[in-house]
Amino acid sequence: MTGPVPASQAPDQAAEPCYFLGNDVADPTRIARADSATDPPSVREWLKPLESAGQRRHTSAKRVGGKAASLGRLLRDGLPVPRGWVLDARCFTELVDRQLPPGHDLATLIRLSGTKAGVDRAARARDRILSEPLPETLSTALRALWQAVEPDAPWGLAVRSSATCEDSDETSMAGLATTVLGARGEAELDAAIRQVWASAFLPRALAYLAHAGVRDVAMGVVLQVMARAEAAGVLFTAPPPGLEGEHWRAGERLVNVTLGLGAPVVDGAVAADTIRIARDGGRVVASAVAQKRRALVVGPAGIEEVPVPEERAERPALDEAALQQLAELAARLEQGGKGPFDVEFAVEGGDPGRPPEPPEPPDGAAPGSAPPPAERRVWVLQVRPVSGGGFPEGGGPDTIWSRANVSEALPGAATPLTWSVARAFSDRGFREAFSALGCRVPRGARLVTNVYGRFYLNLTAFMQIAAQVPGLSPRALLGMSGGASEQLIARLGEQSAGVSRRRFYARLPLTGPRLLLRQARLEREVAAYEGEAQWAQRALSELDMTLLPDDAIGTTLRSVFLLLERTGTLMLHCASASLASHLALCKALERVTRRRASARSASGEAPLDDPAGRAETNIEHLAQVLAGGVRELDSAGPGIELARVAELVMLDRVARERLLAGEVRWPRDLPEGPARDALARFLDAYGDRAVREAELATPRWREDPSPVIAMLMASLRGAPGDPERALARARALADREMAMLETRLPRVELALLRALVGRAQRYVRLRERMRTWVTRVLGMLRKVALDIDRRLRRIEPALLPGSVFFCTYEELVTALSSGRADVGHVVRLRRAEHLRDAARPDPPPTFIGRPPPVVLPPASGVRLLGLPASPGVVEGRARVLDPGTSALDAVEPGEVLVARTTDIGLSPLFLVAAAVVTELGGPMSHASIVAREYGIPAVVNVPGVTLAIKTGDRLRIDGDRGVVERLDERAAPPSLGGAVGEGAAPLAAPAG
């Protein structure tokens, strides 16, 4: 997190300096000023002391950048900011502009943002900046600076951006410009400065500046001595707009903190402690302590991870005294009445790999009452307004964005090729599906957008279009997809309340019959499509692409892309039909329930929407159960077939021993026999699938079967199971619920319900079938892309494997058709930006306006609530799957899988697990549908469950009510109570 406090928000100069614990009254800012006065002349020629940057009479944000100016003011106002220097922004203007060809300056590139010419020029400019050496006199100054500070900088220097446009309420380069940590010596400092300058030319930074109305910008550079961080993180002084709610209230501050450097917290790379403290008094309201297995530190060779001992990993990264100091710091920053801010901080004075040593108490004092060592203190690294940052393309301050259901298909950041392909076919598919319903789609409406590489759906625009259809309310749609609170559903209802349905009704005589006819013919249309798609897949598999010229490969790429567009559009039509049939079934159940409610109440009969007598079962859940047990559901196929492979392996002693010994990488590594043949058939049938299979850069199971082998090993640890029995459980449950309805409904109503259930099952089957074909066509597209990648690297051998995924589809088509594949500079540009996006924390599943830079608190309490997705109640130990986890073979039979999201690539583990719990998704997501088919309980859309639950916790999963309960008392982390935490309520309190 980067950013300063604007001048109007600077803390009171009379306030006392902020220290981390102890009696040390030394003023770190005075030390910084004294040392800066002795800087060598060669240093002072280029680098100004940071404390001078905030003096208006000498300089301003236009000279040194907003961050440097603000940090200088914080230093002068008595806050403990590490000693530092600033390289004037004019150096960027003079040196960089002089190195670049005409038309490659930032002002021009901002104007050309989003265009092909703009991307090409920005890439070339970035390459030039990274390759050109700094002036000799500046290199001499960096050498002299390092020689002067080396004894006091064992962790080196942090090199940070300080753009002339940041960090105000209007603009912030937070997360867009590079920060280099742990730079040592002249060469590393030289490279770090050029990296910071070059980051201003990344496409997302240019697009943000253009959207913010910035016409030109220069980049100052801040160099600061790094604190030897025992712990570090970010303090948020108040909830950003749109995030205020049950888990973070208006009168609270939030701290995200971990051991070691705070970069993993800022980038979302580790699970961090989350602590809510009261705005008034700093009392701890709630806390969740993460398992901090590793810490990031600066070692002899640079940034490295070190293991954290078990006893330290389970303890809070901060104690109550540190939190009290952070609370006081937040109060000082907000004295001007502005905010909220995020404050990046570090605690220096201990080893992140071991717990702090308790200090010796003074004579006569009670044990534990003495302050810790004087050298341990909090350092303020950066401060910026939380409200800074831009709106996603196509949105404004009131736009509601969500990826609660989209993220199941593609969690994390997408590569540029994946994004360009998916954006095109999803946008077209949405428009065609809405048009088929008779809705008017406004010209220029952006239904999907890219937020730090993540797919987000514009719920505001989506609902304003969908509201043209009677019955498609926010509550009806979002109840199935999940990810929206009652407040957001109400807000969406207000945003779409004035939408006219006149055009829909006027066109209904035309669109209604056409839609019904298409739905009636949907099975035949899918069958016809499959015939053509199978022919195309077979033709591509027989094609030797190495013999084709570039323009022919370009034609092949376009053909597969057009097939993908058709596949996606047909899949969305099947999804629309599935949604309509599900809503119709729910409506019928609701109408029957409402009409017969009074008679049932008078007779003491159980409610119709609660046929088993469960008080909390509802209409939505009943509809899901009745429509379960769908035979030949594609989504269930991989798990069923892998279970059959496991049965055959169990019968072959040699094959089983080789697998469990880790000696099997491919089917050929098994002994000849039925098990080997079955595994080969599995990869032939499902080889286009993968974990995170919507990402084109992800190797398919056919290319890398290690995830399949890992899931097969997990299956072998349990007792042999019959996959058919799992499918039969779901069918039996649906039959039981229908049998109960038969005793209560007249024949006509029962026949209607049976027809609606059959219709819902039919369209779910078609939707999942087309989802499978989307995956297959993506596999075809990946095959063509890999051949293009080979050609690119033949032209430019310096390119890394997989470079093709950092071009867009349009760029590849143009390069292949023109015969000019000069894309190396663009690839390097996009790869750098993708690495930045992939390292970011996932923005919240749903947010309003801007994506906030915060890791939200997990769900609170022993009982965590989500959405019921698959019925049943079971108990088991938790197995938390980290995003992108490769340790799938660690899953034990009977465990409860807890994940941020799951896709079909993980579904074979469902037959090993006792239940599934996810943080995202809804009752109609893959996890829910597959869990219902396998007959295992599932709860989805449980906020923060991957933080609140830890591997090994014993859980009770109630898939009927959507409840997750922790049963046993895990060793509780040390209390954050006492003077600061009195009355604190843990966010994830142990049972008992």
Cα–Cα distance, 773 to 534 (Å, whole number): 10
Q: How far apart are CA 31 and CA 27, in angstroms?
A: 7
Could you tell me which of 864, 866, 863 has the C-alpha nearest to residue 922?
Answer: 866
Q: Assess whether pLDDT exceeds 80 at residue 343.
A: yes
With cut-offs at 50, 70 and 90, classify the pLDDT of residue 631: low
CB 308 within 8 A of CB 293: yes
* Residue 175 predicted with pLDDT over 70: no
pLDDT more than 70, % of the chain: 80
Tokens 């494997």 correspond to what residue?
801
Q: What does the pLDDT read at residue 805? A: 94
- With H, G, I as helix, E, B as strand and everything else as coil, classify residue 849: coil
Cβ atoms of 230 and 350 closer than 8 Å? yes
Q: Which two tokens stand for residue 360?
A: 């010796």
DSSP for 266-281 reads HHT-S--EEEEEETTT
What is the predicted pLDDT for the residue at 964? 92
Scan for tokens 């991870």, then name that residue: 305
The rounded mean pLDDT for the chain is 78
Peptide bond into 610 cis (omega under 30): no
Span between the terminal Cα atoms of the chain, in Å: 39
Range list of H helices, 394-544: 416-437, 459-466, 474-481, 486-495, 502-520, 522-542
| Nearest by Cα to 197 from 139, 262, 153, 131 | 131
Q: Which of 1-15, 406-420, 936-950 has the lowest mean pLDDT?
A: 1-15
Phi and psi, residue 265, nearest 5°: -70, -45
Which amino acid would we find at residue 385? P
| Cα–chain center distance at 923 | 20
Q: What is the pLDDT of residues 486-536, one digit of tens each?
A: 777 888 888 888 788 887 788 777 877 877 787 788 899 999 999 999 999
Contact 966, 990 (CB under 8 A): yes
pLDDT digits (tens, 9 = 90+) for 721-776: 667 777 777 788 888 888 888 887 888 888 888 899 888 888 888 988 998 999 99
Mean pLDDT along residues 402-421: 81
Nearest Cα neighbor of 257 from 284, 281, 280 is 284
Q: Which amino acid is at 756?
A: L
Query: β-strand 180-183 against 157-163: which pairing, if any?
Result: antiparallel
pLDDT recorded at residue 890: 79
pLDDT for 992 equals: 29
**15 falls in which pLDDT band (50, 70, 90)?**
very low
Q: Please, are residues 230 and 347 in contact by the beta-carbon 8 Å criterion?
A: yes
Tell which residue, 12, 776, 772, 812, has the closest CA to residue 334: 12
User: Taking Cα atoms as reference points, which of 429, 979, 921 lies closest to residue 906?
Assistant: 921
pLDDT tens string 847-879 = 888 787 666 666 556 788 888 888 889 999 999
**pTM for the whole structure:** 0.78
Question: Cα dihedral angle (571, 577, 580, 584), rounded to 10 degrees?
Answer: -140
**Which secondary-structure segment (H or E) carries 297?**
strand 294-299
User: How much is the pLDDT for 50?
Assistant: 79
Per DSSP, 690 falls in state -
Closest CA to 455 of 839, 928, 46, 842: 842
Average pLDDT over residues 943-953: 83
Structure-block tokens of residue 712 = 């097969």
909 band by pLDDT with thresholds 50, 70 and 90: confident
Cα dihedral 257, 262, 265, 271 in deg (nearest 10): -60
State the pLDDT at residue 141.
87
Q: What is the pLDDT of residue 271?
A: 64
Number of other residues whose CB lies within 10 A of the CB of residue 950: 18
What is the spatial distance between Cα 888 and Cα 711, in angstroms, rounded to a whole number? 6
CB 976 within 8 A of CB 323: yes
Instruction: Return d(Cα 605, Cα 720) in angstroms, integer.
Output: 42
Sheet holding 229-236, edge to edge: 284-288, 273-278, 252-259, 229-236, 341-348, 377-385
Most confident of 166-180, 481-495, 680-694, 965-979: 680-694
Give the pLDDT confidence score for residue 274 in this predicted structure.
84
